[in-house]
C-alpha cells in the first residue's frame, strides 16, 4: 500500500501539477507540500483529500482487518490487560484504584526516561479521572502508544493467580 506522500506524488505526476501550482490552488504552503512528498511532514487523510480535490481526485479509504503481530512480551501483556478489561467497571476501578496508585508510585521510583515517565502521568490521569473508555483503550489497544503504556502498567496484582495462569497459558 503506497504512503500518503506517494499517493500525492502519483496524482501530481498524472495531472502535471507542480508543488507551486498545488500550493496556489490549495492554499497549503509549498514547503509543507514538499515535506509531505518527502515523508518528513505528517500528511493526514483530511489534508491528502483536500490536496487531491484540488487536482480533481478524492481519497478513497478501504478498511480491512489486519491481524497485529506482537512480540511475545507485548502479546503476554496485551492478553493480561485484555482479561483485566473484562472486569473493569466503575466499582472495580474504585476497588483497584488504591492498588494502582501504589503501583504507580513504585514504578515512578524505578522508571527513567521517556516515553515511560509521560505514560505514568497518563495512567495517573486516567485512573484518577475514572476514564473507563480510555483505560480500556490503553489496556486493549494495539497502537504504539497503548503498547508503550502497558510497558509501565500499574495493573500488577489485580488478577488472581489462577486467572493469570489461565491467561498466560493462552499465549504461545
- Domain positions in the chain are 4-53, 72-170
Whole-model pTM: value is 0.66
CA–CA dist 9, 11 (Å, integer): 6
State the chain's mean pLDDT as an integer.
Answer: 94
CA–CA dist 114, 50 (Å, integer): 35
Residue 63: predicted pLDDT: 85
C-alpha separations of 64 from 4, 7, 165 in Å: 17, 19, 33
* pLDDT at position 171 over 70: no
* pLDDT at position 172 over 60: no
pLDDT tens string 116-154? 999 999 999 999 999 999 999 999 999 999 999 999 999
Determine the topology of domain 4-53 in CATH. Answer: 434 Repressor (Amino-terminal Domain) (1.10.260)
CA–CA dist 18, 12 (Å, integer): 7
pLDDT tens string 86-119? 999 999 999 999 999 999 999 999 999 999 999 9
Q: Interhelix angle for 4-15 vs 45-53, to 10°?
A: 0
Amino acid at each position: 500500500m503506497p504512503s500518503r506522500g506517494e499517493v500525492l506524488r502519483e496524482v501530481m505526476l498524472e495531472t502535471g501539477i507542480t508543488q507551486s501550482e498545488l500550493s496556489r490552488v490549495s492554499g497549503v504552503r509549498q514547503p509543507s507540500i514538499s515535506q509531505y512528498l518527502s515523508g518528513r511532514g505528517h500528511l493526514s487523510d483530511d489534508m491528502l483529500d483536500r490536496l487531491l480535490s484540488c487536482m480533481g481526485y478524492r481519497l478513497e479509504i478501504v478498511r480491512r482487518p489486519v491481524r497485529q503481530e506482537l512480540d511475545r512480551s507485548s502479546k503476554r501483556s496485551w492478553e493480561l490487560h485484555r482479561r483485566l478489561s473484562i472486569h473493569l467497571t466503575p466499582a472495580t476501578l474504585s476497588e483497584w484504584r488504591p492498588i494502582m496508585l501504589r503501583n504507580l508510585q513504585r514504578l515512578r521510583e524505578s522508571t527513567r526516561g521517556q516515553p515511560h515517565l509521560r505514560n505514568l502521568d497518563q495512567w495517573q490521569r486516567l485512573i484518577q479521572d475514572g476514564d473507563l473508555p480510555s483505560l480500556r483503550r490503553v489496556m486493549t489497544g494495539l497502537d504504539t502508544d497503548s503498547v508503550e503504556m502497558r510497558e509501565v502498567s500499574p495493573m500488577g496484582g489485580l488478577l488472581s493467580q489462577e486467572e493469570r495462569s489461565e491467561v498466560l497459558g493462552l499465549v504461545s
